[in-house]
């Protein structure tokens, strides 16, 4: 019945109990009376209660919160990053402009140096337990699945891991297995890629697959097809026991990717808000694992941390920290230079009225929709930062704009807003994702693409009746653009490798352009004689145009020297000014690797 409110009280009671027990023991020796035995058992019972209370207090006591004690910038090359892995002394970082490659740097900071490979696009996914092999994936264009390779360190020829295709590969901590996703399936194979077998199938997309240090659990992120939610889930290593790790915390869930610390005591992951912040999940612990998992926020803006890896000693996080900023530029064909446009505002996705007097655009990184006169005067903000706007288009008469928009937890939708401001209205009252609106030249219809993260297809809505039709044969296409003479619609194939042309007079599709590289952002010239577009994910990124009736394009601008701003849902936009010159958004963002020193009690 004794309650100890402090360590001093507990100590005093233990001394008292020791004294009483010693006295009782002497009485037992002197006399074997029933009363002596009773006192001895009473003392032993009291001692047992105190010991049990001490054990319970020790088991339930919680250490202090984990925290970041200091932050150090490690890289300074100014090139966009896409995550990193480490062996403790070196960082292996994926960098990306028009294609992607891997560089290495010291974990104490300094210059980066490229790791040469023969691949056009390569991503560093993991590192072997003995730090002698780098797990890389290689891809082309917008193909969702990649090949996996083992790259010897510090140098050597890469070796293909079986005939596997998939995404988000990782090796198990014991080095025996390779985990990866393909579509909505989670697979495990031997470390060399042999004997793959499916563990589980989920209903949505899989990402960020990691096995626990003790080899008993696998965690991964399940993302909604339209990218509106992400949740961390867990299974046993045999594929059973699927369940969410943080059920009901956010609605919809916004927890994304993660890594265990080497000792397995913490799981570090990201939460999506106005930016990406790093959180720590303290795993259940104690003598009988009585403690429930606890979560702690480690970072809080203004910088977003888009990826992280934990040092082998568990004392640091190496994280990719970014702060977005762009600069609107125009390609000057005479000087062959990219020069600031509209005073170099941090914006993109421009569209002009037919007479060229008004312009609309998206401001970065907020993702808000604006319009102004062509010289930048009479600016008016049409949406706020609570939703991300994308790809606005003027109506032919200049009175309205259509654009795609999304809020966290909601699919992309096409909306219509007055050019004078007001409340935007949904083009269609449905739950299906919509993007890439394009007005018909008479202003009576709008063509749009289904959200490519969910499904594909080109639809046309009659504004007067809201009747929707699907363009025949467009099931595998996206990004529609209506020609100024209303005769054609162009679209891209799902892999972004071809431009397709739909002729309304013939009611059929044909391949217009089939060239190397991933094609993006088709735009008609004002007179409808040319189609402009860019190419990416190739050795040579370019901006090109093709004349109607021809199938061979011509180079307009070489984009190798241009770092292009990239943010969801529009990545690396390009467009046209009224005079036909090419427009881009140069990336002036801060994107570097940082070391975050940890205190993990």
Encode pLDDT of 34-83 as tens digits.
455 456 556 666 666 665 555 555 445 568 899 999 999 999 988 889 88
Task: Supply 350's token pair.
Answer: 């421009």
**DSSP 3-state assignment of 492?**
strand
**By C-alpha distance, which of 317, 365, 376 is closest to 341?**
376
Cα-based angle 303, 307, 308 (whole degrees, multiple of 5) = 100
Alpha helices in 92-203 (DSSP H): none
CA-CA-CA-CA torsion for 574, 579, 580, 584, nearest 10 degrees? -20
Which segments of the chain have a pLDDT < 50? 1-7, 10, 21-34, 37, 58-59, 288-290
**Cα–Cα dist 127/389, whole Å:** 38
Residue-level pLDDT at 284 = 85
User: What is the model's pTM?
Assistant: 0.76
**Cα–Cα dist 251/150, whole Å:** 39
Residue-level pLDDT at 354 = 95
**DSSP 3-state assignment of 336?**
coil
Q: Is residue 481 within 8 Å of 520, Cβ to Cβ? A: no
Q: Identify whether 154 is preceded by a cis peptide bond (ω within 30 of 0).
A: yes
**Cα–Cα dist 339/161, whole Å:** 45
**Cα–Cα dist 465/357, whole Å:** 31
**Cα–Cα dist 440/156, whole Å:** 55
Residue-level pLDDT at 306 = 83
CB-based contacts of 172, cutoff 8 Å, min separation 6: 178, 179, 191, 211, 215
Q: For residue 139, what are the CA distances in angstroms to 117, 149, 542?
A: 13, 11, 19
**By C-alpha distance, which of 46, 54, 44 is closest to 10?**
54
Q: For residue 409, what are the CA distances in angstroms to 111, 131, 424, 570?
A: 40, 39, 19, 18
> How many residues belong to the chain?
601
**Cα–Cα dist 530/513, whole Å:** 13
**DSSP 3-state assignment of 10?**
helix
**Cα–Cα dist 303/61, whole Å:** 34
| β-sheet bridge partners, residue 381 | 370
The answer to whether the Cα torsion of 200, 206, 210, 214 is positive or negative is: negative
**Cα–Cα dist 270/256, whole Å:** 5
Residue-level pLDDT at 411 = 82
């Amino acid at each position: 019945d004794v309650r100890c409110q402090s360590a001093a009280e507990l100590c005093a009671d233990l001394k008292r109990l020791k004294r009483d027990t010693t006295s009782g023991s002497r009485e037992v020796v002197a006399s074997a009376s029933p009363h002596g035995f009773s006192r001895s058992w009473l003392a032993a019972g009291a001692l047992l209660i105190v010991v049990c209370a001490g054990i319970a207090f020790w088991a339930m006591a919680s250490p202090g919160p984990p925290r970041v004690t200091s932050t150090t910038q490690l890289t300074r090359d100014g090139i966009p990053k896409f995550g990193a892995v480490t062996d403790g002394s070196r960082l292996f970082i994926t960098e990306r402009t028009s294609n992607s490659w891997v560089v290495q740097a010291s974990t104490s900071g300094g210059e980066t140096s490229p790791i040469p490979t023969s691949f056009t696009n390569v991503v560093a996914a993991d590192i072997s337990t003995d730090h002698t092999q780098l797990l890389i994936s290689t891809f082309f264009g917008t193909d969702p699945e990649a090949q996996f390779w083992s790259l010897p360190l510090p140098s050597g020829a890469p070796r293909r891991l079986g005939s596997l295709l998939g995404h988000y590969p990782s090796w198990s901590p014991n080095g025996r297995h390779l985990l990866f996703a393909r579509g909505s399936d989670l697979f495990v194979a031997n470390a060399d890629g042999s004997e793959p077998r499916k563990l589980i199938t989920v209903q949505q997309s899989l990402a960020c697959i990691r096995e626990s240090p003790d080899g008993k659990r696998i965690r991964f992120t399940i993302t909604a097809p339209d990218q509106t939610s992400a949740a961390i889930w867990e299974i046993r290593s045999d594929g059973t026991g699927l369940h969410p790790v943080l059920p009901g915390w956010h609605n919809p869930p916004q927890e994304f990717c993660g890594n265990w610390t080497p000792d397995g005591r913490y799981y570090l992951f990201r939460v999506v808000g106005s930016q990406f912040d790093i959180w720590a999940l303290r795993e259940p612990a104690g003598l009988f694992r009585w403690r429930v998992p606890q979560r702690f926020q480690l970072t809080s803006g203004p910088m977003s941390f888009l990826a992280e890896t934990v040092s082998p000693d568990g004392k640091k996080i190496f994280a990719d920290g970014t702060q977005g900023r762009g600069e609107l530029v125009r390609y000057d064909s005479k000087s062959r230079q990219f020069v600031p446009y509209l005073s170099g505002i941090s914006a993109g996705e421009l569209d002009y009225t037919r007479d060229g007097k008004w312009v609309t655009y998206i401001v970065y990184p907020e993702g808000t929709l604006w319009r102004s006169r062509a010289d930048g005067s009479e600016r008016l903000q049409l949406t706020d930062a609570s939703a991300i706007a994308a790809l606005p288009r003027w109506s032919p008469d200049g009175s309205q704009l259509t654009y795609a928009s999304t809020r966290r937890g909601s699919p992309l939708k096409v909306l219509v807003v007055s050019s004078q401001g007001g409340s935007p209205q949904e083009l269609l009252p449905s739950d299906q994702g919509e993007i890439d609106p394009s007005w018909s030249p008479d202003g009576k219809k709008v063509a749009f693409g289904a959200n490519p993260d969910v499904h594909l297809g080109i639809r046309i809505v009659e504004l007067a009746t809201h009747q929707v039709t699907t363009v025949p044969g467009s099931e595998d296409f996206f990004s529609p653009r209506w020609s100024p003479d209303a005769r054609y619609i162009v679209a891209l194939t799902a892999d972004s490798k071809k431009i397709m042309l739909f002729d309304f007079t013939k009611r059929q599709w044909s391949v217009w352009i089939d060239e190397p590289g991933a094609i993006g952002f088709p735009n008609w010239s004002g007179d409808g004689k040319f189609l402009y577009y860019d190419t990416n994910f190739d050795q040579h990124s370019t901006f090109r145009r093709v004349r109607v009736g021809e199938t061979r394009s011509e180079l307009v601008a070489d984009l190798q020297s241009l770092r292009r701003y990239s943010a969801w849902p529009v990545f690396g936009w390009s467009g046209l000014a009224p005079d036909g010159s090419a427009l881009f958004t140069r990336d002036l963002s801060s994107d570097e690797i940082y070391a975050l020193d940890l205190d993990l009690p």
